[in-house]
A = this chain, B = another copy of it.
Amino acid sequence: MRIDNQKIKQLNDQALPDHRESFDHLSKVLNKKNIDVNRAVEKLKEFQVAIPSWALGTGGTRFGRFSGGGEPRSLEEKIGDVGLLHQLSQSAGAISLHIPWDIPEDVEAIKSLAASHNLLFDAVNSNTFQDQPDQELSYKFGSLCHVDKAVRQQAIDHNLEVIKYGDALGSKSLTVWLADGSSFPGQLNFKKAFQRTLDSLQQIYAGMPSDWKMFVEYKPYEPNFYSTVIQDWGSSHMLADKLGDRAYSLVDLGHHLPNTNIEQIVATLMMVGKLGGFHFNDSKYGDDDVTVGSLKPYQLFLIFNELVDGMEDPSSNNPYPAWMIDASHNLKDPLEDLLQSLEAIRVAYAQALLVDRKALEEARENNDPTLAQEILQGAYRTDVRPLLAEARLQAEGALDPVAAFRALNVRKELIAARGEKTVSTGL
């Protein structure tokens, strides 16, 4: 389904006077601080975050899964759902596919469908953490790190196939997340596992088109509960460094030990030009994968503060990073959850854009942590929602996407079209 643009416009029109007033007030306040409001709005309009195909259905835990209704039953319907998100938010202009869940049968039709929603195909993702029904060898004890060369070859071949599908659709990068590791001390030879993984990645890297990038994700634990081969950014960076110029580390917010200073990792990787992408979510305990910004919005702001700093640094050779939401939707409507995540990401980005970097550097040069904090919190405490709304308005999205989603009965229509008991592929 697609929403009638006129209906969005009608909703916007009702809210327009209030929006204008708030935006004008904010503009006035920011102008006095010499902040270029139009530039910030333009930046926000440009900022697009990919939606992974598997995030459109209800997720679960090992204890169970409580499905909702109207979940997408096919790749076409997944693209349709991302199209809805993008139509409302004007900030979800890409989809990230997971193979084998999203193998396109008719590539041209799929490309054309995505284009009709103004969607690009972002990084493609391989899956060697599960066994598929028709799979010859099992990944129970690893994939790219497996002791058995035949299993490694199967996993390498799968990744090469993922690249092939991605290439056909116009993707330009491959994200490799490996669950490989061990759940018990002694199970794995750490060094051999690392070297086998490097060797496998080298073969995949060699099979990428010359304009592709590889993103090497890391994670300390889960599904393995004692060790993970690529346990942290240090391991990921070591691999990316050995792989070549087009290999990068990918940071997923939820893939860190308690209390990790993630913004410093982001800064370090950008310093050496090796941050390839960032996966958004939020968490309190582990890789909880809850709505972005629902628990630690200030941490997200601090991360964006480094991302903006890295992107605006003229001396940096870091490529523009790939952005993706990597959250799970166990209790909320997945589309509402994603709209809330998109909003939280943009709030943090907008706040980071308001930071007076020149003044901040001066405070740092003067060893003035009080002032540095005043500067950061001054930006953070600003209510930036009028900027986001203005960016959406200019791009013909909804002033308030979640409210519009509800007012327009989107879920109800999806259920009517797809049924109450659909279950989308995913976790």
Contact = CB atoms under 8 A, between A and B. Distances in A.
Interface of A: 18, 21-22, 25, 28-29, 32, 59-64, 66, 129-131, 138-141, 147, 179, 182-192, 194-195, 220-223, 225-227, 231-235, 237-238, 257-261, 263-264, 267-268, 270-272, 283-286, 288, 290-291, 293-299, 302, 305-306, 328, 330-333, 336-337, 340, 344, 347, 360-361, 363-365, 367, 369-370, 372-377, 380-385, 402, 427
B372 A184 contact: yes
A85 to B, nearest CB: 14
A168 to B, nearest CB: 27
Contacts of A377: 293, 344
Contacts of A191: 267-268, 270-271
A1 to B, nearest CB: 20
B220 A64 contact: no
16 contacts: A18-B32, A60-B62, A141-B331, A183-B288, A185-B294, A187-B331, A190-B263, A194-B268, A220-B285, A225-B284, A225-B285, A227-B261, A227-B264, A296-B296, A296-B299, A297-B298
Contacts of A18: 29, 32
A145 to B, nearest CB: 11
Given A223-B61, A290-B225, A184 B369 contact: yes
Contacts of A25: 21-22, 25
Nearest to A269: B234
A160 B264 CA distance: 29
B63 A179 contact: yes
Given A225-B285, A284-B221, A369 B29 contact: no
Q: Max chain B CB contacts within 10 Å: which of A225, A344, A375?
A: A225
Contacts of A233: 234
Given A185-B373, A369-B183, A330 B223 contact: yes
A12 to B, nearest CB: 17
A239 to B, nearest CB: 11
A376 to B, nearest CB: 4
Contacts of A259: 220-221, 257-258, 284-285
Contact of A183 (B63, B257, B331): B331
A63 B234 CA distance: 24
Contacts of A328: 62
B294 A184 contact: yes
Contact of A62 (B139, B235, B427): B427
Contact of A367 (B141, B291, B372, B375): B141
A142 to B, nearest CB: 8
